[in-house]
Amino acid sequence: MTHGKAPTATRSTLVISAHAGDFVWRAGGAIALAASRGEKVTIVCLSYGERGESAAAWREGKSLEEIKRIRRGEAEQAATALGADIRFLDAGDYPLLATPELTDQLVHHYRDTRPDVVLTHPLADPYNGDHPAAARMALDARVLAQAIGYPAPGDVLGAPPVFFFEPHQPEMCDFTPQVLLDITDVFATKRTAMECLPAQTHLWDYYTGLAGRRGVQLARNAGPNLGLPRTVYAEAYMRPYPQVTGELA
Amino acid sequence: MTHGKAPTATRSTLVISAHAGDFVWRAGGAIALAASRGEKVTIVCLSYGERGESAAAWREGKSLEEIKRIRRGEAEQAATALGADIRFLDAGDYPLLATPELTDQLVHHYRDTRPDVVLTHPLADPYNGDHPAAARMALDARVLAQAIGYPAPGDVLGAPPVFFFEPHQPEMCDFTPQVLLDITDVFATKRTAMECLPAQTHLWDYYTGLAGRRGVQLARNAGPNLGLPRTVYAEAYMRPYPQVTGELA
Amino acid sequence: MTHGKAPTATRSTLVISAHAGDFVWRAGGAIALAASRGEKVTIVCLSYGERGESAAAWREGKSLEEIKRIRRGEAEQAATALGADIRFLDAGDYPLLATPELTDQLVHHYRDTRPDVVLTHPLADPYNGDHPAAARMALDARVLAQAIGYPAPGDVLGAPPVFFFEPHQPEMCDFTPQVLLDITDVFATKRTAMECLPAQTHLWDYYTGLAGRRGVQLARNAGPNLGLPRTVYAEAYMRPYPQVTGELA
Amino acid sequence: MTHGKAPTATRSTLVISAHAGDFVWRAGGAIALAASRGEKVTIVCLSYGERGESAAAWREGKSLEEIKRIRRGEAEQAATALGADIRFLDAGDYPLLATPELTDQLVHHYRDTRPDVVLTHPLADPYNGDHPAAARMALDARVLAQAIGYPAPGDVLGAPPVFFFEPHQPEMCDFTPQVLLDITDVFATKRTAMECLPAQTHLWDYYTGLAGRRGVQLARNAGPNLGLPRTVYAEAYMRPYPQVTGELA
Amino acid sequence: MTHGKAPTATRSTLVISAHAGDFVWRAGGAIALAASRGEKVTIVCLSYGERGESAAAWREGKSLEEIKRIRRGEAEQAATALGADIRFLDAGDYPLLATPELTDQLVHHYRDTRPDVVLTHPLADPYNGDHPAAARMALDARVLAQAIGYPAPGDVLGAPPVFFFEPHQPEMCDFTPQVLLDITDVFATKRTAMECLPAQTHLWDYYTGLAGRRGVQLARNAGPNLGLPRTVYAEAYMRPYPQVTGELA
Amino acid sequence: MTHGKAPTATRSTLVISAHAGDFVWRAGGAIALAASRGEKVTIVCLSYGERGESAAAWREGKSLEEIKRIRRGEAEQAATALGADIRFLDAGDYPLLATPELTDQLVHHYRDTRPDVVLTHPLADPYNGDHPAAARMALDARVLAQAIGYPAPGDVLGAPPVFFFEPHQPEMCDFTPQVLLDITDVFATKRTAMECLPAQTHLWDYYTGLAGRRGVQLARNAGPNLGLPRTVYAEAYMRPYPQVTGELA
């Protein structure tokens, strides 16, 4: 039995991100890889990160609206570079509050995009409460979208696998890499997307270095016949649900 | 970059089993599946389970040597049915002791079979200390076999992925299914192999039922476009090391 | 000192269930057992499971009100079969929201039924957020009901033991069986109650099988002098609070 | 179905203690309680605690043999006070090494005493490696004693429940009280037994205080109709295996 | 590089307490110690504990307002004895609800007191849901107070270390002592503060005893050259964030 | 009461390292820092890492003895650069076996060096079994060295704090940074020591980068008044035992 994935051209990935920017640093490689295979990727940003992740802009005296506008523009550019669509829910940050209304909006996006794969934050982060709030709603909405009785348009969802992307301080967030994704072939694209976010230039190199370190671990964990190039770039993920497969590998 | 698996015909799977029999109930599907793809599978039985898993034979008054001979014969038949080679180390059971000498023997088997995939028991089992002892040695030997300085013949090993198979009481053994393997296509073969073990006929139905329940979970966790048949059979596994992949799915 | 349980005839059990139906599959044996000893059992259903657990009815095009009415009727029948009273709070499902108002309603039911034993869901379930929400409120209300200063009618509560019943996928819900309850003597009654829920006929056999498997574990964990019958049926539970006893056994 | 415990007069409890003394401080109440019901209790001391728990004697310049003799005498007195038999394996302490030979000796004691209940140390203690070593062997031997194929005299064992007694620093040893045993009725006996150990007089009051504090928790966790006296004494235990019961309470 | 603590005279400690009273029993030593060094300590009481922790007063028939007034007066006296300021938010208890509005109030207190050290409850307590609610808000507000974009007066905060104080039943609350604070020099002051709370006289001795037991552990864990007095008193704390230091000790 | 540390000049640190080299990469900063304060630091290398960590030398066809000699020389040079003494136990690696004899040797080194601080590996490492074996023996020996009855020369030890240094893949080894040590002032010395190990030049930059990343985390977790320089270097540690302190900070 073929483990019946959708044909590449029609596969859909949904990325749920607390703030504009998160999806670039943490899942840019996975997004670019899916897009490079001709798949559809949709990013939903719950907020712009306008209060909690825009310190420089606040110090320059910019207004709230101005900051939101700037961050939205940058995120759109980065999404375009990666080959993905992007939607903004403007739900506010610091704190991003988990509400039934916002969860319901996410259900609609699930029913609309019909994802084969979902990417979001992990459920713990002692340095940033918005990330777990986003993850909580992303998981709840995925379950609700599967129920025929849930009052939202569109067909009920299957049960797409979920991947948590790597937080900034993994050891403090109960994050153990369970999946190492080889992003070598699209790393240049990820770097381009990172460079769309000029306020955090120090992160360009930080996440380039992290991708290299995760690449070294990928090589260390790879099977004996893997013909890897000199430099490998990787992203780390966790799975809250079991992997379904037709072959152990 | 292709995630460089060996060509199917030359792939090798190593199964390290505390007792003769364990590999049938817990990994028979994975073994049959690999064999059905033309891959090589080698089963190493550390003991025959002659003391701890042969209660009926003891009650019938059979001798130790007789029990070992019977269990060896049954295990050979089951391995043949699954399409695998089998080796017996006759290290004794109840208790199976983790020793440097036995670990060294396993290193030789690693270097000899050069596995692309390793299957063994999980590291905890409050009902049977032999299973964790086998797992501990299987993991230690895998690391030693990777070192060029380790004094054993053969080339150094890569880092093949390891899968823990499901223990009899998963909730008591910290076993959370991380991988659900679809074994529907080879389930009849697994059943045939189980029927080579006549002393435990009640387990034939038990493990048929378990495969069906894991199959239901597989379907529940599968992506939306999965065209599954009416009845799905599955086996559950855990990964002690991260999965290496070129695609999130 | 006798470990001063109430006389059997006046003992009271409170079951707090997210959806109509949960109490049958997961705690039907415990309920029937208490009722068979002449004790009082009260089931509080927070919702009917009208959206999340009634897929067949939705596919048949039934209306929300119709579905709620049907599920209420079935749950009443099942409760009667088990020998228990049942109350419905109609708080909505998918999602069932944990609110101060609903928790307050539960406090009133605690003060009113004065339970010696409380049964509810465990605190984690990645496949169904309503179950943890129900459990969270059940535990919070139990603590509030113990405070003389809490504004609800009735005397303050003691500290009745709580038992979490087994979720559908125990390994995914951090559920480790801590108590195996022998329900052999009332299993026929549980089966009758299950058959009051015609929409989920496949679950009749699933939960019969589970009771048998838990029964095998009960026998495996039972003391040496236990004179058990051929077939034993059991239900598994966890305790969030320590057991209080006058004898280790 | 009665949950078939042996008639009280023939019930047997086996206590496996790393050092002479441990069983008094940590399980003296449970031992006295069983003895007071006419049950048989056997204590197996793996060592005398001659090196690690006899600092005062060493400071007084006593010899190793003298210390062992003194501690043996005190332990015998305490066992007598509690109403229990005691056996000494003299396996050495600091470190007490877990060996196949010592485990085998324990199998013989299991087969000989045929316990309905087993008490021992928990599996972790960062302050004293002898305690986990004793626990490890106690658990392994219990499993071996259940196998008909294990070469030791006597009938195979059932699966008696195991209780871990409370270590000196519970929070550092992953010890969560799962069972609170009411020892009020025999507390005077436990105090008498403690006073048989004159080298550690400060522990007499320490463990009296601990029994009082666990008693307060017992009352806090007890059901509403429990008619408890003013002062309650209790001991805390953990269960590595599920409780088997015919009634939730 | 000096690990740049503020000069003692200007250091500030913020204590966030669910109920009036909590800060005395659990952190009175730390508060008195900081005050004795000339540092500023501010206690924020989210509620008076008027419903959940005032059973005696309710039994005497006092009114809600009267109870709140009494508890406020006692807490003020205790704070004065310890040398600290105290503020009351009167947010209600049993349940204390974690709300965005209350979290926002705490942000204002953070910005206002500019703490170098924060003390609060741990995140789990199965016996009292108000404690985790207070802790959750204390941690969330600390993160918000660090963001320049958060709309509250005052400069942004640094990242002061947080210490969880010891709950009443540490083993049930995942509380492992990570820090043992020597409070011997100020223990008389803590005792005086405890005696300002006449409704719970049994706790005076309980917490004196606990301080002595934690003192014994402090001595047991202290380095070899520690010149400790005969009786040592200590309080235990946990750190949710890493310690920052210039020297391992 | 002063928290009675030994005068700086007489303080002693003991570092227990599985292989020559480990102490440089993982604790070089802590060692250099202690030495720079005039304290004594002793490194005990259980093996040279001759089999498991010398792949390049084996590939060049060097003999076992040659490799051991080279690694010993490099480790001596690195220890000298850091200002520490070094001792070699030559117990063999890959596998390094935890034996009573080797643990006994460590007791002698504890009694001899009388450490105020102990540094070693953490207790888990799925990629290298030698590291946990070293840690296990280091902890066991520390406890044995505290017992007056243990037959080894020298006075009994106090209870020096233990710090686990950071493993190569912290997320896979249950390693959560609990202490971030500022090593900025001695980082040049650590770099010099690293450069004494020419076989692993790629690690020079890896551990420079890690020190920088841990430095960023140190700054992020530091209190508000910390006057940190532009670039901070840090090492991360875990504590298996509680910190003993006279001040929360």
Of C114, C119, C177, the CB nearest to D242: C177
Whether residue F148 lies within 8 A of chain D, CB to CB, comes out as yes
E5 confidence band (pLDDT: 50, 70, 90): low
Query: Is there a domain that residue B3 lies in?
Result: no
The confidence score (pLDDT) of residue F227 equals 57
Give the neighbor-by-neighbor strand order of the sheet with D117-120: C243-245, D179-182, D234-238, D162-165, D117-120, D12-19, D40-47, D85-88
pLDDT of residue B129 exceeding 90, the answer is yes
Query: Is there a domain that residue C40 lies in?
Result: yes
Q: Check: CB of residue B46 under 8 Å from CB of residue B96.
A: yes
Percent over 90 (pLDDT), chain E: 88
DSSP C203: H
What is the number of residues in chain E?
249
pLDDT of residue E4 exceeding 60, the answer is no
Chain F nearest C-alpha distance from B73 (Å):
34
Query: Is there a domain that residue D7 lies in?
Result: no
Q: Are strands D12-19 and A85-88 parallel, antiparallel or unpaired?
A: unpaired
pLDDT in tens, A14-67: 999 999 999 999 999 999 999 999 999 999 999 999 999 899 999 999 999 999
Q: Given an 8 Å threshold on Cβ–Cβ distance, is D228 in contact with C163?
A: no
Total domains present in chain B: 1
Give all chains having 3 or more CB-to-CB distances under 8 Å with chain F.
A, B, D, E
> CATH number for the domain including D37?
3.40.50.10320
Q: Check: CB of residue F161 under 8 Å from CB of residue E248.
A: yes
Query: Is there a domain that residue C138 lies in?
Result: yes
Q: How far is CA D89 from CA B166, C15, D21, D22, F15, in A?
A: 38, 50, 14, 15, 36
Of E37, E157, E182, the CB nearest to F224: E157
The confidence score (pLDDT) of residue C1 equals 44
Q: Check: CB of residue F204 under 8 Å from CB of residue F194.
A: yes
Q: Which residue has the tokens 């009785």?
A: A149
D222 confidence band (pLDDT: 50, 70, 90): confident
Longest CA–CA span in chain A (Å) reads 60
E in contact with D (at least 3 C-beta pairs within 8 A): yes
Whether residue D140 lies within 8 A of chain B, CB to CB, comes out as yes
Q: Is C126 helix (H, G, I), strand (E, B) or coil?
A: coil
Whether residue E170 lies within 8 A of chain C, CB to CB, comes out as no
In this prediction, residues D182-193 reach a mean pLDDT of: 98
Q: Which residue has the tokens 């990964």?
A: B239
Q: Are strands D162-165 and D234-238 parallel, antiparallel or unpaired?
A: antiparallel
DSSP C157: P
Q: Check: CB of residue A30 under 8 Å from CB of residue A163.
A: yes
pLDDT in tens, E133-176: 999 999 999 999 999 999 999 999 999 999 999 999 999 999 99
pLDDT of residue E1 exceeding 50, the answer is no
Query: Is there a domain that residue D243 lies in?
Result: no
Q: How far is CA F191 from CA F40, F194, F198, in A?
A: 20, 5, 12
pLDDT in tens, B158-177: 999 999 999 999 999 999 99
Percent over 70 (pLDDT), chain D: 95
Beta bridge partners of F238: F164
A176 confidence band (pLDDT: 50, 70, 90): very high
B in contact with D (at least 3 C-beta pairs within 8 A): yes
Q: Check: CB of residue A165 under 8 Å from CB of residue A235.
A: yes
Beta bridge partners of B44: B16, B87
pTM comes to: 0.96
Whether residue A125 lies within 8 A of chain E, CB to CB, comes out as no
**Which stretches does DSSP call E strand in D58-161?**
85-88, 117-120
Whether residue E147 lies within 8 A of chain A, CB to CB, comes out as yes
In this prediction, residues B116-128 reach a mean pLDDT of: 97
Q: Check: CB of residue B119 under 8 Å from CB of residue B34.
A: no
Query: Is there a domain that residue C248 lies in?
Result: no
Which residue in E28, E1, E3, E2 sits closest to E243, CA to CA? E3
Mutate which: B15, B142, B244, vs A, most A CBs within 10 A: B244
Of A140, A240, A242, the CB nearest to C129: A140
pLDDT in tens, C21-37: 999 999 999 999 999 99
Q: How far is CA C30 from CA B62, C120, C221, E143, E200, in A?
A: 44, 12, 19, 46, 40
Whether residue A89 lies within 8 A of chain E, CB to CB, comes out as no
Give the neighbor-by-neighbor strand order of the sheet with E85-88: E85-88, E40-47, E12-19, E117-120, E162-165, E234-238, E179-182, F243-245
Query: Is there a domain that residue A7 lies in?
Result: no
Which residue in F204, F206, F248 sits closest to F223, CA to CA? F248
What is the number of residues in chain C?
249
Chain C nearest C-alpha distance from B245 (Å):
24
The confidence score (pLDDT) of residue D202 equals 87
Q: Which residue has the tokens 């409170």?
A: C14
The confidence score (pLDDT) of residue B225 equals 46
Whether residue B126 lies within 8 A of chain D, CB to CB, comes out as yes
Q: Is A81 helix (H, G, I), strand (E, B) or coil?
A: helix
Structure-token pair, residue D222: 């007890």
pLDDT in tens, F152-200: 999 999 999 999 999 999 999 999 999 999 999 999 999 999 999 998 8
| B-chain residue closest to D139, CA distance | B126
**In the A/B pair of chains, how many CB contacts fall below 8 A?**
168
The confidence score (pLDDT) of residue B14 equals 98
Q: Check: CB of residue F158 under 8 Å from CB of residue E222.
A: yes
B in contact with E (at least 3 C-beta pairs within 8 A): no
pLDDT of residue C83 exceeding 60, the answer is yes
Q: Check: CB of residue C125 under 8 Å from CB of residue C173.
A: yes
What is the number of residues in chain D?
249
In this prediction, residues A136-150 reach a mean pLDDT of: 97
pLDDT in tens, C197-237: 998 888 999 999 999 999 999 998 885 545 566 789 999 99
Q: Check: CB of residue D92 under 8 Å from CB of residue D129.
A: no
SS3 readout for chain B: CCCCCCCHHHCEEEEEECCCCHHHHHHHHHHHHHHHCCCEEEEEECCCCCCCCCHHHHHCCCCHHHHHHHHHHHHHHHHHHHCCEEEECCCCCCCCCCCHHHHHHHHHHHHHHCCCEEEECCCCCCCCCHHHHHHHHHHHHHHHHCCCCCCCCCCCCCCCCEEEECCCCHHHHCCCCCEEEECHHHHHHHHHHHCCCHHHHHHHHHHHHHHHHHHHHHHHHCCCCCCCCCCCCEEEEECCCCEEECCCC
B in contact with A (at least 3 C-beta pairs within 8 A): yes
For residues B41-58, b (16+ Cβ closer than 10 Å) or e, as one string? bbbbbbbbbbbbbbbebb
pLDDT of residue D5 exceeding 90, the answer is no
pLDDT of residue D227 exceeding 90, the answer is no
The confidence score (pLDDT) of residue F190 equals 98
Mean pLDDT of chain D: 94
Q: Rounded to an integer, what is the distance from CA C116 to the centroid of its chain?
A: 14
Give all chains having 3 or more CB-to-CB distances under 8 Å with chain C.
A, B, D, E
Query: Is there a domain that residue F2 lies in?
Result: no
Q: Which residue has the tokens 């102990």?
A: F118
For residues D146-167, b (16+ Cβ closer than 10 Å) or e, as one string? bbebbebeeebbbbbbbbbbbb
D128 to chain F: which residues are within 8 Å by CB? Answer: 143
| E-chain residue closest to A172, CA distance | E241
In this prediction, residues E182-190 reach a mean pLDDT of: 98
Structure-token pair, residue D244: 């088997």
Which residue in B23, B13, B237, B242 sits closest to B122, CA to CA? B237
The confidence score (pLDDT) of residue F9 equals 73
Q: Given an 8 Å threshold on Cβ–Cβ distance, is C171 in contact with B171?
A: yes
Kindly provide the ipTM of the predicted complex, given to two decimals: 0.93
Percent over 90 (pLDDT), chain A: 88
pLDDT of residue B230 exceeding 60, the answer is yes
The confidence score (pLDDT) of residue A225 equals 47
pLDDT in tens, B40-65: 999 999 999 999 989 999 999 999 99
**Which stretches does DSSP call E strand in chain A?**
12-19, 40-47, 85-88, 117-120, 162-165, 179-182, 234-238, 243-245
pLDDT of residue B213 exceeding 60, the answer is yes
The confidence score (pLDDT) of residue F200 equals 83
Mutate which: F164, F168, F169, vs A, most A CBs within 10 A: F169
- Domain of residue C183 covers 12-238
In this prediction, residues D203-224 reach a mean pLDDT of: 90
Flag residues of chain F having pLDDT under 70.
Answer: 1-5, 223-229
Mean pLDDT of chain A: 94
Q: Check: CB of residue A147 under 8 Å from CB of residue A140.
A: no
